[in-house]
Structure 1
Amino acid sequence: MLIIVESPTKAKKIAALLKTRTISTVGHFKDLPETVLGVDLASYEPTFVYLPKKEKLPGELRQAARGEQVFLAGDPDREGYAISTHIFEEVREVAASCLRLEIFEVTERGLRDSLAKAVPFETTNHGLYDAYLGRRIGDRLVGYLLSPLASRALGGSYSVGRVQSPAVRLVVDREREIRRFVATPYWVLAIELEKDGTRFTARHLRGKFEDQSEAAALAALVAKESHALAEKVELKEVRQFPKPPFTTVDLQAAAAARLKMTPEQTMRLAQGLFDHGLITYHRTDSVRMSDEFIEELRRFLTAALGAAYLPEKPHRYSSKNTQADAHEGIRPTHLHHGNEIGSLIGGEGLGPEHARLYELIFRRAVASQMAAARYDATALLFDVVGEKFRANGRVLTFDGFLKVYQEAEEEKERKGEEEPVQLLPPVAVGERVRKERELLDEKKTKPPGRFTFGTLVKELERLEIGRPSTYAAITRNISERGYVREEKGKVVPLPPGESLVDYLREKHPWVIDYELTRRMEGFLDLVVEKKETWQRFCKGVHGKMEYAAPVPRGAAGAPTQRQLAFAAKLAQQRGEAIPETVLKSGKELSAWIKQAVGEKPPSRRKAAGTGAAEGKGGEGAAGRKGTEGAAGGARRKAVRKAGAAGAARPGGGPARTTPAASTATEGGTGIGSCPACGSTVVESDKGFGCAARCGFMLWKDRLSRWKKEITAPLAADLLRGGPVSLKDLVSAKHDGKKFHARGILEQDPKYGWTIRLIFKDDPHSGNSAS
């Protein structure tokens, strides 16, 4: 018996509980390649490759699974099912049998229950994998085809995402709404009353007065009267019911409001709590708790607090997504007293941040099955010279669930500051209550509030954009790519984010259309249900773009300024005009440049060739600087073939994993666009040069003084613009000590195209790799 999971921590915990061999994949081990599209645009079939440093894992999985009953226990969601499918493709030929195991809590009881429900993997719903394919390939098409266009148009390195771009738009549009907002004054009229030593306030029923003179006239009229007549007294009991256990989104919002944690921090800590068997699975839309846990919880509450804190019947909550109730909401796996949390968390080797999040989850889940809080609410209606004023107050008579879980902070996040609760004295109808004074306050309308990361996630959920497993990645990505940042707990857009939204709104508005994005998510749900296909989803996404194949930046759409400048100088050298027919298309202009360079007189061809050999830029070449903070970063250095011949996906049919293409640009395959003229850059034995022979050349040994070779993936990153992470550079001055830096491709007047190193302490200067 062998269990394969995603997390090493979970594997260790399961092995200890079940005394069964358990190994982990540490998440995905196959994905689309980073340096090429990896998708057949005719069939949309993907090419999955093994991730760096995981090339040996498939062999290890096969070796471990040989002759065993294998339980594929990727997380119980689409991503986890996809990982399980990839494992299945690797081990199905050697394992005795393969079963799908969905683990919702890492406890001995939870694991035994899950094992009892495990089913042959071939019989599971492979619609989950199809939906994963649709999402992954659709996202790749959007990012790979639109990001170069945005980068070229905006002059930097920009990333377009099917879900992340609408999230950036939310932040940008909210900020612009705030900027456009013009505060308008209004006036609030109230009276202060006193009875039996208790002072309280009653407000005019009109609420807001937009006309100051009208409000002032009424205040003057009211000032002539010394008492207010009580016309109506309403006394009633108000009950405040607890909220259900956390869903993923509610947990992220509450942790942001109460604990000042980002969604990414919250999910990282929750993953640790889940892996150590302290909470149920944390990526869920469900608010349901199992009947067994509810019964256990009711017994616990009776013993701890007494029967008064239990509702007569258990609370039943319904999820927004009816399919979600196959899972549970986020809850603790064990019940204990609050003062035991520290020792419980410490005993698992976790830290204080884990404890804070665990306590939040624990209290919310326990409170969800407690009795409602009760208030005596009073509403008094007064008359003063014909004008009506109302005073509201309430008194807590039974704390109920509030004894365990207070909701004030979260409510303030969503609804803003409310009126202070006041204590009202007993008043009878017809009673005249002494008026102390009248209050006329000038106020101003307020703009909408900025999002926090928590409220941004809630808004994405409301718009049905993304899924619980993606929200943390969305907020992380838009921050890391320099589109937004957090200031004093609020999310504000940065200039690159605003520029990107403006570009997409003009050129590709469908990408940031909330309704269309929502419908895409709904379509993927239909794929899960096998009512639609992942190919139709990908075709629909691809069809929104006006081209059918990935092209180098500078070759799609209108020509870039660099292309036009280079072409103009080239035409001047040749003594001829650029044909008007090629001026509207970057692709056609690139072809004309290539032809024109090839037809140069011998002396000019030699000069161009010499320039390339010496690493010098050709005429018209310009330096290219990416936007600081924009998407960049190191790409994977190598990929290998993934998938085995004859492997099959669950349900039969050919595997979705196709043989991987080599990332080496054999035969002149383009790896990017030329920063000098916009044509394709291809790989040769010694470097990466412009296919149009404009003079651009980036040598593979350009970083040799730091013992690093420029590979095709690294060159592709540099060509995209913006700083690129350079790891494990070797310092000759410090006895071979390794260091990290960032590099940016620039044109040096003396050395041609080179790489300027940027160091953390001095981002504006650095050494050139010349």
Structure 2
Amino acid sequence: MPKRTYLTEKPDVAKHVAEFLGIEKRLSGAYLLKNGDYVTNNIGHLLDLGSPEDYMADAQKSARGFDQLPILPPKFRHFADKDKADQLRTVVKLLKEADIIVNAGDIDREGQLIADEVIAYAGINPDGSAKPVERVLITANNEASLRTAFAPQNRRKNGEPQFVNRRYAGEARSEADWLIGMNGSRGVRAAIGVRLEEALSVGRVQTPTLGLVVIRELEIRNFKAVTYYVPEIELPDGRVLEWAGRLEGADQAGIDSEGRIIDRRVAEAIVARIKAGLAGVVTHYTAIEREQEPPLPFNLAKLQSEMSARHAMSAKETSKATQSLYQTRKMVTYVGTDCQYLPQSMHEEAPDVLKGISGQYMKLASGTNPGFKYSCWNDSKVSAHHAIIPTGELAGGLTTDEQRVFDAVARRYMAQFYPKHKYVENKLEAEYGQDVFASGWRKTLVDGWKVVDQQADEDVKDAESLENKPAMRMRNK
């Protein structure tokens, strides 16, 4: 019977795969399975593209500043990461000894590249032309997802065009990063012409991102607050209509280009006319029933944003707490994800997860219905990693930050198993002479998932309110 070596991207995935397939023995950097197969793993990239000196001619090395540029390797090579040399030797040995290689790496372009470059480094064509190379698509480490991934009908060939193209895309990204980073960093330092205390780096992603941050910072520093006036009318039932603008063709004196009243006398004149008996005419009213699915589970960026809005936690504090919940407490799934969706196969394990966290959320968990299946369960939206959700495990001794993060993750997950939130969206507009007043409000019909995750919409509203400029409101009852 041919022997297989399964290659994953990370040690924890290798552990889950080995446990699923049946461990016989734990080895250094690998697992021996009961059927004689092996599971081993990369640790991210075991190889890199090297430094500029690895490609430069002697004359180029001895040059200085701009005379050294550009550095354009005719062909990139892969060099072993010295800090991961032992693991690389283990992986290469097992790949060479295998009759069949199974690429069980992450399913995005980077995951494809990480596995394929090591297979090629071992002297084996990752397309499978010399030795069979299979591809399994692991979207999650739970048993149901692994059962789906390793089902015979779901095994693919690593040389299929979609996987080869992902590798090419990963290579292009990697080489572009190297060319821009190495040449750009040296070019900028040469342009400055002075020795810096810390190295200054340029990057394909980091430099334009830094540019966006700088532009936004300059906008904030140069911001000039504008005082404007908003007349209001309180109706007999307590509903408040706010001034929304003037009819087209009406006098726009005292109103700026953004449609705000900046002349107090104009606002006072509007209020005075209404107090004097100017009647209003309702020109528009709608009441539309709407329903709303629960918000998608968190990825790391969304979780950081949520923790900042709710608890003023920094991105670093959120990352640290979430990583601890994943790595030490085992209470949440993998955290380094930019995906907010979940594999269909994980839905069948929802009852177990909900039962696990019911020890902390007895009332809320008991109100869930695992029969609900919203849009977050979507295989086509899951890339290398799925959204952050609870594992069903609970641990004691959590820090305050860990408690806050887990509470947000758990509530967002439980929300997926509550009914839709239903409400009536009301909009009212009325004209008082040449001025338009408006009001919008919601009336809840069914709380649904908001029973669990009430803050989800409130934080959005709070964030929107931060965009308002200082305003002075003038009310007429």
TM surpasses 0.5: yes
- 1:119 equivalent in alignment to 2:173: no
- The Cα shift of 1:167 comes to 0.4
Give the % identical residues: 22
Q: Secondary structure at the match of 1:188?
A: strand
- Say if 1:86 and 1:357 are closer, same or farther in 2 by CA, change over 3 A: farther
Q: Distance in 1 between matches of 2:54 and 2:417?
A: 50
Q: Is the 8 A contact 2:241 2:439 kept in 1?
A: yes
1:8 aligns with 2:11: yes
Q: How far apart in 2 are the matches of 1:328 and 1:143?
A: 27
1:165 equivalent in structure 2 = 207
CA distance in 1, matches of 2:141, 2:18: 11
The answer to whether the 8 Å contact 1:248/1:284 transfers is: yes
What does residue 244 of structure 1 align with? 296
CA distance in 2, matches of 1:211, 1:15: 72
Pairing of 1:563-582 with structure 2 (within 5 A): none
Name the structure 2 match of 1:217. 269
**Which AA in structure 2 matches 1:179?**
R
Deviations 1:452-477 (A, max 9, x none): xxxxxxxxxxxxxxxxxxxxxxxxxx
Structure 2 CA distance, aligned partners of 1:87 and 1:354? Answer: 37
Identify the residue that residue 400 of structure 1 maps to in structure 2: 448
Q: Cα offset for 1:401?
A: 1.4
Q: Any conservation in 2 of the 1:37–1:144 contact (CA below 8 Å)?
A: no
Whether the 8 Å CA contact 1:255–1:357 is kept in 2: the answer is yes
In the alignment, is residue 305 of structure 1 matched against residue 322 of structure 2? no
The yes-or-no answer on 1:293 pairing with 2:330 is no
Aligned counterpart in structure 2 of residue 85 of structure 1, from 101, 104, 116: 116
Q: 1:357 to 1:91 in 2, by over 3 A?
A: farther
- Residue 333 of structure 2 corresponds to 279
User: SS state of the match for residue 83, structure 2?
Assistant: coil
Which residues of 2 match residues 126-165 of structure 1 at below 5 A? 126-154=164-192, 155=194, 156=196, 157-165=199-207
Paired position in structure 1 for 2:40: 23
Letter in 1 for 2:474: L
CA distance in 1, matches of 2:231, 2:175: 60
Instruction: Please state whether the residue corresponding to 1:174 is helix, strand or coil.
Output: helix
Deviations 1:421-465 (A, max 9, x none): xxxxxxxxxxxxxxxxx9528xxxxxxxxxxxxxxxxxxxxxxxx
Counterpart amino acid of residue 126 in structure 1 = V
| Correspondence 1:507-546 to 2 at 5 A | none
Query: Could you tell me the TM-score, scaled by structure 1's length?
Result: 0.44
Map Cα deviations across residues 651-674 of structure 1 (whole Å, 9 max, x no partner): xxxxxxxxxxxxxxxxxxxxxxxx
> Where in structure 2 are the equivalents of 1:464-483 lying within 5 Å?
none
Q: 1:149 to 1:292 in 2, by over 3 A?
A: closer
In 2, Cα distance between the equivalents of 1:277 and 1:48? 37
CA distance in 2 between partners of 1:131 and 1:375 (Å) = 45
- Looking at structure 2, the residues matched to 182 and 237 of structure 1 have their Cα atoms a distance apart, in angstroms, of 40
From the superposition, tell whether residues 103 and 255 of structure 1 become closer, same or farther in structure 2 (CA, over 3 Å): farther
Post-superposition CA distance 1:281-336 (Å, at most 9, x none) = 853556464177279679979994377x977xx544699xx9745778415486xx
Contact 2:422/2:448 (CA < 8 Å) preserved in 1? yes
1:36 aligns with 2:46: no
Say if 1:317 and 1:19 are closer, same or farther in 2 by CA, change over 3 A: closer
> How far apart are 1:104 and its partner, in Å?
1.8
Matched residue type, 1:10: V
1:201 corresponds in structure 2 to 240
Q: Structure 1: how far apart are the matches of 2:90 and 2:352?
A: 47
- TM-superposed CA distance for 1:139, in Å, is 1.2
Query: Cα–Cα, structure 1 residues 231 and 243, in superposed 2: closer, same or farther, change >3 Å?
Result: same
Contact 2:9 2:105 survives alignment (8 Å): yes
Matches within 5 A, 1:587-736: none
User: In 1, distance between residues paired with 2:398 and 2:52?
Assistant: 38
* Aligned counterpart, 1:605: none
Shift in Å, 1:274:
8.6
Offset at 1:152?
A: 2.9
Matched, 1:440 2:477: no
1:676-706 CA-partner distances (Å, limit 9, x unpaired): xxxxxxxxxxxxxxxxxxxxxxxxxxxxxxx
| 2:387 matches 1:330 | yes
Structure 2: tracts of 5 or more residues without a match: 24-30, 32-38, 58-70, 246-258, 356-363
Aligned partner letter, 1:26: I
Query: How far apart are 1:180 and its partner, in Å?
Result: 2.9
Q: Distance in 2 between matches of 1:375 and 1:185?
A: 35
How far has the Cα of 1:30 moved from its partner? 0.8
> Structure 1's 19 and 317: CA in aligned 2 closer, same or farther, altered over 3 A?
closer
- Give the conservation status (yes or no) of the 8 Å contact 1:18–1:108: no
After TM superposition, give the deviation of residue 399 of structure 1 in Å: 0.8
Letter of the aligned partner of 1:293 in structure 2? H
- Report the Cα distance in structure 1 between the residues aligned to 2:72 and 2:181, rounded to whole angstroms: 18
**Superposed displacement of residue 172, structure 1:** 0.8
> Structure 1 residues 385 and 55, CA, compared in 2 at 3 Å: closer, same or farther?
closer
Q: Whose Rg is larger? A: 1
Structure 1, unaligned runs of 5 or more: 335-340, 420-437, 442-770
Conservation of the 8 A alpha-carbon contact between 2:8 and 2:42 = yes
The one-letter code matched in structure 1 to 2:294 is: P
Instruction: Call closer, same or farther: CA 1:92–1:119 in 2, change over 3 Å.
Output: farther
Give the direction of change, closer, same or farther, for the CA distance of 1:328–1:370 in structure 2 (3 Å limit): farther
* Structure 1 equivalent of residue 218 of structure 2: 176
Distance between the aligned counterparts of 1:58 and 1:326, measured in 2? 26
1:26 shift after superposition: 2.2
Q: In the TM superposition, what whole-angstrom CA distance separates every residue of 1:593-644 from its partner, at most 9, and x where no partner exists? A: xxxxxxxxxxxxxxxxxxxxxxxxxxxxxxxxxxxxxxxxxxxxxxxxxxxx
Rounded Cα–Cα distance in structure 2 between residues aligned with 1:418 and 1:31: 44
Residues 215 and 53 (structure 1), Cα distance of their counterparts in 2 relative to 1, 3 Å cut: closer
Structure 1 residue 159 displacement after superposition: 1.0
